[in-house]
Structure 1
Amino acid sequence: MKKRKIALAACITGAIALTACNDDGNADNDSGEEIANIDGTSLTEEALTNELKNEFGPQLFNQMIQDTILRQQAEELDIGEEEVDSELEDMREQMGVEDDEQLLEMLQMQLQIPVDSIDELKEDFLLPQVVIQELSTAEVDITEEDKEDYYEENEEALTEVEVRHILVEDEETAEEVLSELEDGTSFEDAVEEYSQDTASVPEGGNVGSFPQEGHQMDENFAEAAFELDVGEISDPVESQMGYHIIEVLDRNETYEELEEEIESSLTQEQSKSPEEVVQELMENADIEITDSNYEDWLEEPGAMAM
């Protein structure tokens, strides 16, 4: 959702900026200065900017209105540098990068988001995101009783285990690894020597925590993990990726252990969607189109894309 917004905005912002640059402060400038000649056919700056305006103008027009409203809301909510920096740190953690240079490179190369600086990222992407998050949860009201009821109704599904594993290609190798563990080889050493899960090897085979329901793990893997006690090591478990030796490192199943996850789930259930937030802001904003040429460009709030 946001990636598309930034990519589009960056592209068409450049287009409108080009138009403004061509005007040189003179709205009547229609000189049609040539910028290219193709086998005798002239391509003018005016033709280029008109094409860009016709192609992207309405989208950018509505996006600029939306962004203006969100920035006004940031001021009203007194959202400052601290909140935006916290969002930036969350983004670094989610994307598994340690510094700003790596983050920008990943955004530009892998996600095709054309942000050139952290300041631009914070201003054009993270600030509006913080505004929407705050407004989406503004009316959320979760009581202790709500959380306790939710726990009682979903106790089994909420239970989480933290596990590490060793992934090998066949059952024979898995049995060999299990035998070495029983003879005293440390799990970390066995991970280093045998595991084919390269993503988890640096973490000693740790793949993190996941709930009993709603997880993304292989079903055979998950079922075996939830049958183990903390510190217990499984027999070889077959999955689509091969054979696993699994050890449960921790289990969260009490209300106290799961309270944070419960509150997060209830908050998500009660929150407004980003689309609802923006639609309400647009409906409540006093938007006056002062140039009749642009009256048809303004979209109805419900039709605006995020």
Structure 2
Amino acid sequence: MKLAKKIISIMLTGAFLLSLSSCELISKTEEGKLKEAVAKINGHTITKAEYLKRFETKKAQIQAFYGSDFFEKKENENYVTQIKQDLLENMINEVLLVKRAEELKVVPDEKTIQDEVNKNIEESKKTLGGEDKFNKTLSDLKITLEDYKAYIRNQVIIEKLYDHITKDVNVTEDEIKKYYNENIYDYTEKPNKMNVSHILVKTQDEANKVKAELDKGVKFEEVAKKYSQDPGSKDKGGNLGDIYYNDKNYDKDFMANAIALPVGKISGPVKTQSGYHIIKVNSKEEYKQIPLEKVKGDIEKKLIDDKKEQAFEQELNNLRKKAKIKIYYERL
């Protein structure tokens, strides 16, 4: 009996020690996972712990806009996956760009960097309404002041790289004129607009049939309800409502024909990717054109900004093509 009790005692002790060992193993395993690489870039490792810091901040930002349960909703699974992957891609880009700045020797001295970081913090405090609100915002976003400073530090370096890469960007007079002429309706005293109706069908033969009925005097609204395959406007007699001349959501050929059409007139078949349209313009509001000289500066700035973005994006694309990048999406 004593022997049996002794064996049981040893077994219980062993189980207890095993449970302690298991807890320690779990702890070490969790700690080990945080040290795992989620991405490797030319020998540089982004750990899961580093990634999770950024993710918690991103998560807090999104929850502030879309609700605390955004990440738990099943219908958001694909969005969440994309958010996670995009965040990691941004972190990879950050590593590549900071390294490139170092290679090109455009990284400012430490004092300049710290001055810029401090300036950013002071401006943020002012914008948010004081130090207490600034600190609360950091807390809400689950980011420490030191981590925030580190992030801003990298942004300061990347901005210097941006300035270096784009320093020779310029635009010509011809480019300015070309943009002005191609976007003429962006530069009127007030936005030009028209009220438009249409009938959408699949084939030109159907469009010709529709036009023939309209030419016989059948009301546009009746023909639209009978033939149009646009569910958004069919029941409204084909009416699309007011459309601004510079609205980029509509097909270019559709817009060009509608703008050229006199009020009350009906077009012939107009082909677009959606099918064939018969268009009627019900009313128009048109305003004077602003002379090029008055908007030249705005256009030049826009074109330079666009070119700078393109140049910097090309630099980043080249860096990614040359880099050895290994991504572990399954660890996110």
Give the helix-richer structure, 1 or 2. Answer: 2
Larger Rg: 2
Is the shorter-chain TM-score for this pair beyond 0.5, marking a shared fold? no
Q: TM-score range by the shorter chain?
A: 0.3 to 0.5
TM-score, with normalisation over the residues of structure 2? 0.35
TM-score, with normalisation over the residues of structure 1? 0.38
